[in-house]
A = this chain, B = another copy of it.
Amino acid sequence: MNENLSIGAASRNCGVKVPTIRYYEQIGLLPAPPRTEANRRTFNARDLRRLAFIRHARELGFEIDAIRTLLTLQDDPHQPCATADAIARARLTEVQQRIDGLTALKAELEAMIESCRHGEIADCRVIEILADHSRRSQPMYANASLHR
Contacts and interface: CB of A to CB of B under 8 A. Distances in A.
A3 interface: no
B77 A91 contact: no
Nearest to A93: B109
A5 B117 CA distance: 36
Interface residues of A, number: 71
A18 interface: no
Interface in A43-68: 48-49, 52-53, 55-61
A40 interface: no
A116 to B, nearest CB: 5
Given A60-B105, A141-B59, A146-B59, A79 B126 contact: no
Contacts of A57: 130
Given A74-B121, A78-B122, A95-B109, A85 B130 contact: no
Interface of A: 12-15, 48-49, 52-53, 55-61, 70, 73-74, 76-82, 84-85, 87-89, 91-92, 95-96, 98-99, 102-103, 105-106, 108-110, 112-113, 116-124, 126-127, 130-131, 133-141, 143, 146-148
